[in-house]
Amino acid sequence: MKTVLKALLGSAVLAMAAGSASAATLDDVKAKGHVQCGVSTGLAGFSAPDDKGEYTGLDVDFCRAIAAAVFDDPKAVQFSPLSAKERFTALQSGEVDVLSRNTTWTISRDTALGLNFAGVTYYDGQGFMINSKKLQGISSALQLSGAAVCVQSGTTTELNLADYFKANNMEYNPVVFEKLEEVNTAYDQGRCDVYTTDQSGLYAIRLTLSSPDDHIVLPEIISKEPLGPVVRHGDDQWLDVVKWVYYAQLNAEELGVSQANLEESMKSENPEIKRLLGTEDGGKLGADLGLTNDWAARVIKHVGNYGEMFERNVGADSPLKISRGINALWTKGGLQYGMPIR
Amino acid sequence: MATQQTIAEGAAPRVPLLYDPRVRGIAYQILVFVGLFAFVYWIIGNTTANLQRANIASGFGFLQGRAGFDIGDSLVAYSSDSTYGRALYVGFLNTLRVAILGIITATIVGFVIGIGRLSKNWLINRICLVYVEVFRNIPPLLVIFFWYFGVLSVLPLPRDSIELPFGSYLNSRGFYFPKFLWGEGAGLIALALGLALVFIWFVRRWAAKRQAATGDRFPVLWTSLGLLIGLPLLAFVVTGFPLSFQFPALSTFNLQGGIQVRPEFLSLYLALSFYTAAFIAEIVRAGVLGVSHGQSEAAHALGLRNRPTLRLVVIPQALRIIIPPLTSQYLNLTKNSSLAVAIGYPDLVATGGTTLNQTGQAIEIVAIWLIVYLGLSLATAAFMNWYNARKALVER
Amino acid sequence: MQEHDLSFVRAEMVASQAPPVAEHGLVPWLRKNMFANVVDTIFSLLGIALVFMIVPPLVQWAFINAQWTGSDRTACATLAQGGLQPDGWSGACWAFVDAKFQQFMFGRYPSAERWRVYLTGFLFVALLVPMLVPRVPRKGLNALLLFVIFPVVGFFLLSGGAFGLKPVATPLWGGLMVTLVLAYVGISVSLPLGILLALGRRSHMPVVKLVCVVFIETMRGVPLITILFMASVMLPLFLPPGTSFDKLLRALIGVALFASAYMAEVIRGGLQAIPKGQYEGADALGLSYWKKTNLIVLPQAIKLVIPGIVNTFIGLFKDTSLVYIIGMFDLLGAVRQNFSDANWASPQTPITGLVFAGFVFWLFCFGMSRYSIFMERRLDTGHKR
């Protein structure tokens, strides 16, 4: 009787089981008609649902860019909100095709966890935020000895924090939560003096506080946090697609091709632009990638170049107002460098 | 007709093997066993394959590794240099602390509310009813959130702490009170306290014997109280007041010194106590109502007044009804303490979760959780069963 | 015999008199029920003080000061926080609940497809109500529809992907809808599974008994969170490499298995209360084990433990809120998620959202407990004399 039950349960489980992860993710994606994209459960500017429940943000737009390149439709993407704990399992098990969830590129994740990072869509670093109205006269993280610090558990942030305070011989009082929402609420209610996470995150979170203008982000950056999209190890074609969607957006910005001037750019005689947009005669760069030749043009048409994507979600056109800083193009003193498309 | 024949022949009925209940039973069991074995084998096979693929070594060796993360609330010495094993131990002690204190408070509040539900006073009765109906029908997780965010939003920042008597303070970082610093000779006071307890035990025995023999009553309560306070006080005076206090004082960010009770602990403890108290109140009410009316009538007929009736007749019988469900409420409270993870109180599940996340040793961590919680459940159940056996009806 | 010579017989009734003033009206009632003696008076005064401490501020917060309309955070933030309210204002921000109501109910389920949720909900209510009203006939057919046909229909309606319905992946589900799906599946799986486990635990076959005892005691001995963690983190490890399945399904399995262990213990209580004569009678009639169980034992046993079963259902319903901890957006999760919406961030938002979620949970649980009391009274025949 129990065996029957188990068998029934097992078959039910298998019946509802999603397709297993096969090697050719691109074919899978084309077959099912959408990209399954793992995003964060709610971080303004990167991935957060708006009033209508639609996801918006930098990470989200990058997923839309992939969908645009493959399907010419930025809406052909489904989002799986994932917590810090679940994100890697979800990718490994094939639940998502790409993980675009402010994930830090580290060697152990690249090797031991069987993942591949496709690039760095946002160069970040861990910082501190305090309420300047309530804690006047604090202008450096080195003055924080004895403070209560709010931090999310299970992240590199938590470990960096412990190391930083130890290295500087300071004491602190950790207040650790599992979920971002809880850290936010606790900090907002005055449970801790300091909030620490990636700096971009701090700017995003500041907006969700009840009086954003009272809070300042301290200048110290205590770690390197290169954030980027992640795919499964061992599927080079899919890795290429994700990687080159990102580089295409960078190249477009370098060449001055944007959503606004795409029409004219399509007619441009500049050979570099022609290669990028697939307007040159006999070009097969897109086909080699497993996509159509106008793949990059589709990305620009629907999502825009990297600069547009940045400004719209986290930069000047967004409530976050983060300056480009090290995320500027290499030609403008930043670190963003698009590999040549030829 | 067939039956008549077999009876007439006097031989055992010949049952086909397929219909023999004994054979069938054995066959079923073998089937279950084989099925279960195959299932477990399948799972183990998959798990090892998955672990190999993800490059995760199994075994409990990781417990010796450096944890690297800090824990805010710890009963024993802990730093980020301690091991994962130590972190789990800290979590375990935190679970125990909130469970034990929660059980004590929930019992007291629950009994008060339960008796209030039986009160003839209309207002008290209604207040207790509202309390029970509100708390019983809300998920405990929400109750915890209410306490946590409710308490946090009301309390001020450390600079504007609410001052309480005896050098205690209340602010959004928790409840601070002075730390007792015992000087030389403090051991004598503890000794006096122990001595007082021993004396009390003897006095009670003697008083009970005397009442049984002569019917005279001895003021046991007052004597006990006198002993309990008097002896340590005497020792305190003799040793020359070996006690000083460390008062909490404001520093740059928080109050330093003294003892800090963090809001996470406070709200978890209060939420669990008040939530469970609603259930205990209903159990107490049912227990007292379950004692037949004839019992108290008979006690009154014997000339016992209200209070002795309650103390000697009703309550002992009600306890028999109350204890078994009370045990399961205690177990529930212990298990619900794992909701601490939602408000960042570092209990076993929270520290285990962090460890799991840093090391990827999911199976080992979950095994530790299962063993610890099962152990706690069995220990609580064993204690309550022992207590129940003592209180149970002795049938002759 | 003596004859009565009655000179006067009253023909009509005397009009009843009002009770004495001291026994009638508000004052004597108060004296009797609240101020009977000194102790009573003290308690009553304390009670009145308590009510005055709690109720007026609560009403003030929830109704009088509350903001019912508004389009963003300014409606619920004070001037110092960049809002419209005077400093020191404190009141519920119902405007937030109003703006997010759809999300609290459906999560991110596409708006164009929500008629499917409504339809499923309607079907559920249409099948549930006749099931709950004792007078409506054809309970067997009703149960078949509710517990066998409805799940299939509901599954296809909600998740789509067949019959021309657009597929809606479960990560899009959320809010009260997920809470109800979890509770429904948990309830309809845990009852039969619980019965099987309870029968197994009372079985004479040692292997079966052992398996059931170990399962029940393990599930009951550990917190639901650890079970959910196991379901969400470890289940993928237990399956062949590369297999993955739905997160909602994983949570469902965890919740259902957990609830069935509790259910099994409740049912076992009922089984133990059936007099031995009933079993012996059935045996004497030559009924097989399953016939005996289905026709004689279970109907009596389940009737005995209906309050316990409903209590387990209530517990299960409340426990569904824990899936929030493993990162799913049930009602509580949807509410919590919206706290980090920059458009609505204000000190009043979190507490208002929590009060709303608490009220919804309370409505459901209170309703269930009232129904259980009603059924208990109705079925209170026999056994108690």
For chains A and C, CB pairs below 8 A equal 124
Within 8 A of B172 by CB-CB distance, chain A residues are 189-191
Nearest Cβ partner for B354 among A112, A153, A179:
A153
Distance of CA A288 to CAs A284, A291, A293, A342, Å?
A: 6, 7, 9, 12
Write the Ramachandran bin of C25: left for phi over 0, alpha for psi from -120 to 50, otherwise beta: left
pLDDT in tens, A228-260: 999 988 888 999 999 999 999 999 999 999 998
B-contacting residues in A 85-124 (Cβ below 8 Å): 85, 92, 111-114
pLDDT in tens, B139-190: 999 999 988 887 777 788 777 778 887 778 888 888 888 877 777 777 788 8
The most confident of A242-246, A312-316, B73-77, C225-229, by mean pLDDT: A242-246
Query: Contact, C326 vs C251, CB < 8 A?
Result: yes
Within 8 A of C361 by CB-CB distance, chain B residues are 137-139, 142
- Judged by a CB distance cut-off of 8 A, whether residue B33 touches chain C is yes
Taking an 8 Å cut-off on Cβ atoms, the answer to whether A42 and C337 are in contact is yes
d(CA C348, CA C335): 13
| Cα nearest neighbour of C221 on chain B | B374
Within 8 A of C329 by CB-CB distance, chain A residues are 81
Query: Which one has a higher pLDDT value, C245 or A129?
Result: A129
pLDDT band at C102 (very low <50, low <70, confident <90, very high): confident
Query: Contact, A278 vs A285, CB < 8 A?
Result: yes
Nearest Cβ partner for B68 among A114, A146, A162:
A162
Question: Does residue B1 have a pLDDT over 60?
Answer: no
B contact chains, 3+ CB pairs < 8 A: A, C
Please, which residues have CB within 8 angstroms of residue A278's CB and are 6 or more apart in sequence? A285, A286, A292, A293, A294, A295, A296, A297
Q: Determine what percent of chain C is predicted with pLDDT higher than 70.
A: 95
Taking an 8 Å cut-off on Cβ atoms, the answer to whether C346 and A18 are in contact is no
**Closest residue by Cα to residue A290 from A249, A239, A252:** A239
Nearest Cβ partner for C336 among A22, A181, A209:
A181
Angle between helices B84-117 and B122-136 (to 10 degrees): 150
- Quote the pTM value: 0.83
Amino acid at A230: V
Taking an 8 Å cut-off on Cβ atoms, the answer to whether A154 and B353 are in contact is yes
Quote the mean pLDDT of chain C: 84
Chain A nearest-CA distance from B249, in A, is 13
Q: Determine what percent of chain A is predicted with pLDDT higher than 70.
A: 92
pLDDT band at B13 (very low <50, low <70, confident <90, very high): low
d(CA B238, CA B261): 33
Q: Determine what percent of chain A is predicted with pLDDT higher than 90.
A: 35
Tell me the residues of B at the A interface, defined by beta carbons under 8 Å apart.
Answer: 28, 31-32, 35-36, 39, 53-55, 68-72, 80, 149, 152-153, 155, 157, 159, 172-173, 251-254, 256, 263-264, 341-344, 346, 350, 353-354, 356-358
DSSP 8-state assignment for residue C2 = P
Query: Which one has a higher pLDDT value, C90 or B136?
Result: B136
Q: What is the mean pLDDT of residues C60-88?
A: 81
Q: What is the mean pLDDT of residues B103-132?
A: 92
Taking an 8 Å cut-off on Cβ atoms, the answer to whether C337 and A181 are in contact is yes
| Cα nearest neighbour of A176 on chain B | B344
Q: What is the pLDDT of residue B120?
A: 83
B-contacting residues in A 226-285 (Cβ below 8 Å): none
Question: Does residue C2 have a pLDDT over 70?
Answer: no
CATH number of C94-109+168-378: 1.10.3720.10
Question: Does residue C162 have a pLDDT over 80?
Answer: no
Nearest Cβ partner for B54 among A3, A92, A161:
A92
Nearest Cβ partner for A178 among B35, B157, B353:
B353
pLDDT in tens, A201-216: 898 888 888 788 889 9
Q: What is the pLDDT of residue A117?
A: 93
Question: Does residue B200 have a pLDDT over 50?
Answer: yes
- Judged by a CB distance cut-off of 8 A, whether residue B119 touches chain C is yes
Question: Does residue C383 have a pLDDT over 50?
Answer: no
DSSP 8-state assignment for residue C36 = S
Nearest Cβ partner for C81 among A49, A184, A211:
A211
A-contacting residues in C 329-358 (Cβ below 8 Å): 329, 336-337, 339-343, 345-347, 350
Chain C nearest-CA distance from B385, in A, is 16
Q: What is the mean pLDDT of residues B202-216?
A: 86
d(CA B169, CA B363): 43
Q: Which domains does chain A have, with CATH numbers?
A: 18-123+226-332 (3.40.190.10), 126-223 (3.40.190.10)
Burial of residue B165 (number of CB atoms within 10 Å: 0-12, 13-18, 19+): exposed
DSSP 8-state assignment for residue B184 = T
C-contacting residues in B 371-390 (Cβ below 8 Å): 373-374, 377-378
Within 8 A of A2 by CB-CB distance, chain B residues are 32, 35-36
Taking an 8 Å cut-off on Cβ atoms, the answer to whether A181 and C246 are in contact is no
String of DSSP letters for B106-133:
HHHHHHHHHHHHT-S-HHHHHHHHHHHH
Query: What torsion, rounded to 10 degrees, do the Cα atoms A318, A323, A327, A332 define?
Result: 120
pLDDT in tens, C8-41: 777 888 888 877 766 777 888 888 777 878 888 8
A contact chains, 3+ CB pairs < 8 A: B, C
CATH class of the domain defined by B84-175+262-391: mainly alpha
Please, which residues have CB within 8 angstroms of residue A92's CB and are 6 or more apart in sequence? A21, A113, A114, A115, A232, B54
| CA–CA–CA angle C85, C89, C94 (5° rounding) | 75
**Which residue pairs from A330-335 have beta carbons closer than 8 angstroms and sit at least 24 positions apart in sequence?**
A331/A254, A335/A120, A335/A123
**Closest residue by Cα to residue A238 from A28, A82, A90:** A28
Measured in degrees and rounded to the nearest 5, phi and psi for residue C220 equal -80, -20
Q: What is the pLDDT of residue B113?
A: 94
**Closest residue by Cα to residue B149 from B275, B274, B263:** B263
pLDDT in tens, B252-308: 677 777 788 888 999 999 999 999 999 999 999 988 888 888 898 999 999 988 888
Question: Does residue B215 have a pLDDT over 50?
Answer: yes
Q: What is the mean pLDDT of residues C203-223?
A: 88
Distance of CA B182 to the CA centre of its chain: 30
Taking an 8 Å cut-off on Cβ atoms, the answer to whether A2 and B35 are in contact is yes
Within 8 A of C376 by CB-CB distance, chain B residues are none
| Cα nearest neighbour of B360 on chain C | C233
Q: Using DSSP, how many helices (H) and how many strands (E) does chain C show? A: 17, 0
Q: Which pairing describes strands A98-104 and A35-40: parallel, antiparallel, or unpaired?
A: parallel
Cβ neighbour number for residue C35 with a 10 Å cutoff: 17
Question: Does residue B388 have a pLDDT over 80?
Answer: no
Question: Does residue C173 have a pLDDT over 90?
Answer: no
Nearest Cβ partner for C245 among A13, A42, A184:
A13
Q: What is the pLDDT of residue A242?
A: 95
Question: Does residue C81 have a pLDDT over 80?
Answer: no
Taking an 8 Å cut-off on Cβ atoms, the answer to whether A210 and C77 are in contact is yes
Task: Give the tokens for residue B36.
Answer: 């279960």
Q: What is the pLDDT of residue C264?
A: 92
pLDDT in tens, C320-342: 988 887 778 889 888 888 877 77
Taking an 8 Å cut-off on Cβ atoms, the answer to whether C223 and B28 are in contact is no
d(CA B190, CA B180): 14
For chains B and C, CB pairs below 8 A equal 152
Chain B nearest-CA distance from C66, in A, is 17
Q: What is the pLDDT of residue A23?
A: 57
Q: What is the mean pLDDT of residues B116-143?
A: 91
Taking an 8 Å cut-off on Cβ atoms, the answer to whether B374 and C332 are in contact is no
Distance of CA B302 to the CA centre of its chain: 39
Residue with tokens 């227990």: B287
pLDDT band at B317 (very low <50, low <70, confident <90, very high): confident
Distance of CA A270 to CAs A264, A275, A298, C165, Å?
A: 12, 9, 19, 47
Q: What is the pLDDT of residue A68?
A: 94
B-contacting residues in C 39-98 (Cβ below 8 Å): 40, 43-44, 47-48, 50-51
Task: Give the tokens for residue C143.
Answer: 């149960």
Quote the mean pLDDT of chain A: 85
ipTM over 0.90: no
- Judged by a CB distance cut-off of 8 A, whether residue C347 touches chain B is yes
Lowest mean pLDDT among A276-290, B173-187, B369-383, C250-264: B173-187
Chain B interface, mutation test: which of A3, A11, A144, most B Cβ atoms within 10 Å?
Answer: A3
* Domain segments of chain C as ranges: 94-109+168-378, 110-167
- Judged by a CB distance cut-off of 8 A, whether residue C141 touches chain B is no
| Cα nearest neighbour of B28 on chain A | A1
Task: Give the tokens for residue A194.
Answer: 């300091």
pLDDT in tens, A46-99: 988 776 778 899 999 999 999 999 999 999 998 888 877 778 877 877 778 999
d(CA B283, CA B276): 11
d(CA A31, CA A191): 49
Query: Which one has a higher pLDDT value, B370 or A14?
Result: B370
pLDDT in tens, C114-126: 888 889 889 998 8
Q: Using only C-alpha atoms, what is the Rg of chain B?
A: 29
Please, which residues have CB within 8 angstroms of residue B78's CB and are 6 or more apart in sequence? B71, B86, B87, B90
| Cα nearest neighbour of C203 on chain B | B25
Question: Does residue C157 have a pLDDT over 60?
Answer: yes
Taking an 8 Å cut-off on Cβ atoms, the answer to whether B55 and A114 are in contact is yes
Task: Give the tokens for residue B298.
Answer: 């008979």
Q: What is the pLDDT of residue B55?
A: 64
- Judged by a CB distance cut-off of 8 A, whether residue B325 touches chain C is no
